Amino acid sequence: MTTPVRLRPEIAALPPYRQGKQASPDAFKLSSNENPFEPLPAVVDALRGAVTVNRYPDATASELRAALAAKYGVTTDEVHVGAGSVSLLLQFIQAAAAPGDEVVYAWRSFEAYPGLVTVAGATSVQVPNRADGSHDLVAMAAAVTERTRLVIVCSPNNPTGTTVTTHDFETFMAAVPDDLLVVLDEAYAEFVTDPDAVDGESLTERHPNLVVLRTFSKAYGLAALRVGYAIGASSVLDAARATAIPLSVTEQGQAAALASLEHESELMTRVDRIAMLRDQVRQALVDQGWDVPAAQGNFVWLPTGEQTATAAGVFADHGIIVRPFAPEGIRITIGEPSSVDKLLHAAQQVRQNTS
Ligand code: PMP
C-alpha cells in the first residue's frame, strides 16, 4: 500500500489489529478469550470511587504493586504494572532487542508477537509447535543464536491451549544462556488445572533472567480496564519501566484490580467453573471425533485446517462467533454455559461437512 508520507515499510505492511467480530445481539462472542461474568459488586464500587479524572493516575501503581508483591512474596520492585500484558510484552521486547537482534517464540502462538517484534525493529524467529499444538522447547532452545535477545514462552499457549511442563521448562532454562531474557507469558495461568504445568510464580527467584507476565483481563474479567503485570528481577523490570509510556495504567484500572485481589477467592470460584466447563466442552468435541489439544486456558482449539474459513461461517450461522486462524484452526472461548449446546451443534455440523 502506498502512503502520502514516508513510513517504515515493515510497519506500513503490518496488518491492523483485528478484533473478533462484534456479535449480533443474540450471538455469543467467543472470539476474544474474554470472561463471561459481569464485574463483582465490589469492583463496580471501586470504579464508582475512582472518579478523579482531572489528575493523572499514580504512575507507579504503588498500591497495586504492593498488593501483588504480598500475593507473590516478592518486593514491590520485583513487580511492574502495565496497560495490559500486551504493552508489557512490547516493553520487554524493546528493552532487550534492537534492530538485527532476534526474538524466538513458538508458532502458532499469540498473534500479537510478530507485530510487536517488528515494531521494535527486531527479527522474529518462529519455532513450529509439535503436532499436538504444544511448544517444542528443545527446538526453541536450539534456535537461540548469538543474536537472540529474548525468548517468549506462552503457557497456556494461545491459541492451542497447551502448557509446557515444569520439567521441560526447567530443562529449557538450563539449556539457554543465563543472560538471555526469557518471558513466560502466563495470561491464562489461573485456568490451569494440570499439576505438571509450569507455574512461573515460584521460578523467578531461581532464574534472574526470567520474567513472568500475567493479566487482569482474563481470569479477573477486567479486559476493558487494561491492567497486566510482570514479576521478575527489579533490574530487568527497570529496563521495561524505562521504555514504558508513562501514566498508561488508569486510576480506574488500578482500583478495580486492587478490589479484585481483595475478592480473589470469589473470582477464582468463577475461574474453576470456566475450567470445568472447558474440560466438558473439550471432551464433547473429542467424542465427536475432533483432535482437540489438551486445553488449559479459557478456550479450546479446533483443528479445522483448510476448512477454517467455512467452519467459522458455520459457527456464525449457529450464533457463535469464533476466532479463525486459517488455514490451521479455530479458537473458541469458553463463555456462557448457555452457549455450549449451540457450539457443539456447530462443531458437529462442521465435522459432518468435512468427513
Ligand atoms: N498474552 C496472551 C497469550 C494473550 O492471549 C493475551 C490476550 N489475548 C495477552 C497476552 C494480552 O492480554 P492483555 O493485554 O489484555 O493483558
Domain check: are 234 and 318 in the same one?
no
In this structure, the residues whose C-beta lies within 6 A of any atom of ligand 1 are: 33, 84-86, 110, 154, 158, 185, 187, 215, 217, 223, 228
Which letter, b or e, does each residue of 175-211 get, where b requires 16 or more Cβ atoms within 10 Å of its Cβ? ebeeebbbbbbbbbbbbbeeeebbbbbebbeebebbb
The last residue of one of the domains, among 219, 240, 262, is: 262
What confidence category does residue 4 fall into, taking pLDDT thresholds of 50, 70 and 90? Answer: confident
**pLDDT tens digits for 59-88?**
999 999 999 999 999 999 999 999 999 999
Rounded Cα distance, 301 and 311, in Å:
13
Domain check: are 78 and 190 in the same one?
yes
CA angle, residues 92, 96, 101, in degrees to nearest 5: 125
- The CATH number linked to 233 is 3.40.640.10
The last residue of one of the domains, among 262, 289, 305, is: 262
Q: Is-cis flag, bond preceding 327, omega within 30?
A: yes
Cα-based torsion angle of the residue sequence 134, 137, 142, 143 in order, rounded to the nearest 10 degrees: 60
What confidence category does residue 15 fall into, taking pLDDT thresholds of 50, 70 and 90? Answer: confident
What's the pLDDT score for residue 20? 65
**pLDDT tens digits for 222-249?**
999 999 999 999 999 999 999 999 999 9
Closest ligand 1 atom to residue 216 Cα is 16
Rounded Cα distance, 23 and 75, in Å:
42
Mean pLDDT of the chain: 96
Domain check: are 257 and 270 in the same one?
no
Q: 216 with 260: CB under 8 angstroms?
A: yes
Strand order, beta sheet including 329-333: 299-302, 329-333, 323-325
Closest ligand 1 atom to residue 83 Cα is 14
The ipTM value here is: 0.99
Domain check: are 209 and 61 in the same one?
yes
Domain check: are 29 and 82 in the same one?
no
Distance 252 CA to ligand 1 centre (A): 19
Domain check: are 32 and 143 in the same one?
no
**pLDDT tens digits for 193-204?**
999 999 999 898
User: Cell triple for residue 148?
Assistant: 537472540
What's the pLDDT score for residue 19? 72
Q: Which of 109, 110, 331 to mutate to test ligand 1, by most ligand atoms within 8 A of the CB atom?
A: 110
Decide if 96 is inside a domain. yes
| Helix extents (H) in the chain | 9-12, 41-49, 62-72, 85-96, 112-119, 137-142, 166-175, 234-243, 251-262, 264-287, 308-317, 340-354
Decide if 343 is inside a domain. yes
% pLDDT > 70, the chain? 98
Task: Give the closest residue to 267 by CA, choosing from 71, 32, 43.
Answer: 43
Range of the domain at 185: 52-262
Domain check: are 168 and 248 in the same one?
yes
Number of domains the chain is built from:
2
Domain check: are 213 and 305 in the same one?
no
Q: Is 119 exposed, middle or buried (0-12, 13-18, 19+ CB in 10 A)?
A: middle
In the chain, the largest separation of any two C-alpha atoms, in whole Å, equals 60
- The CATH number linked to 324 is 3.90.1150.10
Domain check: are 159 and 291 in the same one?
no
Distances (CA, A) of 15 to 4, 108, 112, 225: 18, 17, 11, 24
Domain check: are 190 and 332 in the same one?
no
Domain check: are 293 and 201 in the same one?
no
Decide if 91 is inside a domain. yes
For residue 137, is pLDDT > 80? yes
The last residue of one of the domains, among 231, 246, 262, is: 262
Q: Count other Cβ atoms within 10 Å, centred on residue 253.
A: 25
Rounded Cα distance, 323 and 108, in Å:
14
Distance 212 CA to ligand 1 centre (A): 13
